[in-house]
Chain A
Amino acid sequence: MTISTGRLRLTKRQRRSLIVGLLFISPAIVGFFVFNIGPIIQSLQYSFTRYNILQPPRYVGLNNYLFLLEDRVFKIGIQNTLYMVLIGLPIHLVFNMLMALLLNTKIRGLSIYRSIFYVPSITPVVASTIVWLWIFNGQFGILNEFLRFIGLSPIGWLTDPNWVKPSLIFMGAWFGGNTILIYLASLQDVPYDLLESAELDGANAIQKTFRITLPMISPVIFYTIIVNVIGYFQYFTEAWVMTATRDGSAGGVANSAMFYSMYLYQTAFQQFKMGYASAQAWILFMIVLIATVILFKTAGWVYYHAEN
């Protein structure tokens, strides 16, 4: 590591390797500026304008942001998205962890079960959501058929504003195979002698899990939390496909399934209010940034053991 402390004083060889290195990563440099930094700045600029694509953008100051404060649908979108991040995501991660712990009990036929739990997560979202639309169908769906069979009254899984988000979370669990496998892979890496010596000291299964297994894989848990928090803030396709109607609108009854990204999409690509949508995008950016910072600041529970 030669960090140039003084001015740029590089040897001839260093200069050569710098040029060659930069050449190799040049696609990344171009991509970084053209597809990331540039658009981020532009998006901030657009957020201060009114821009309907047909006429050139017109500067309106903070108006877009002020309108957002008053925008009822936007507020519902934030609430629904937070519901997904704060309720749906923890349920999914705990459920996925339980599944992984279950699969880690040295059961026979592991590779078969692993495949069964993973396959839903690689099917095209739209294709599998169409089945779930049919399963949730109020009149002919198998779920309500089952409820009637055991003597309960049917539920409007996707039409009752109180049920649509729980329904989406229920379906979302089915797509979680990827996380189950990430957890399973890390569980399999927990050194066996650690667990064995704890057992000799008289630790039971629950103590072993909470005192050894989970702390050992806490970096992986942290990684899945970060990635999924960012992902759940962008929750779109499942809800869109579930609630899209024939006229192209979506969001469910009384916007009960209107999520942040859906409203942003509608604002930008159906109403062509590019400035207003850019303001939404920037607020999302800030929310995700703050959430990430909070997660990193409160990461004291993550245990990094020396590798190898």
Chain B
Amino acid sequence: MSFWIVLGILAAIGVWLIAVYNGLVGARNQGQTAWSQIDVQLKRRHDLIPNLVQVVKDAMGYEQETLTKVIQARNSAVAASGNPAQAGPAEAALTTATRGLFALMENYPQLKANENVMQLQEELTTTENKIAFSRQFYNDSVNAYNTRRQSFPAVLAAASLGFGPMDLFSMPETEREVPKVALR
């Protein structure tokens, strides 16, 4: 009799462990997928910025300093990529630098007429948006995962099953806005 009771309790614990494990795996994978999405968009931005600088370079000959700043910010963002904790500040600095460039570009009417520049602007705008949205989705997923692993009773098993906490990807709040571009 007591044998069956013990067996029943063990089976219940086993089922519970499986449920906790699968739930945590699902939540962690969603977070990781979201992170890879951010990574894709950040890389895309890193690729787009040199193109834009190249196209506007001739028209904006007197703005060498700004252009250099953008390229420098871009290069340090490339160096920091892959690590949520370091990439955040570097990407935020890059956003600030590109926003400065966009603001200056408004002084050059000939750029507004340039089809190529317009296209690059739309691509950069959408890439900035995608970074913001994938960051939002990533952070929501991480929050859901962290809440799940810290909730009772999963908290009893999460650490011993190898589910550590995940980092949020933070950029200063103002950086979420899309750069104001007058060329649309």
Say whether A associates with B: no
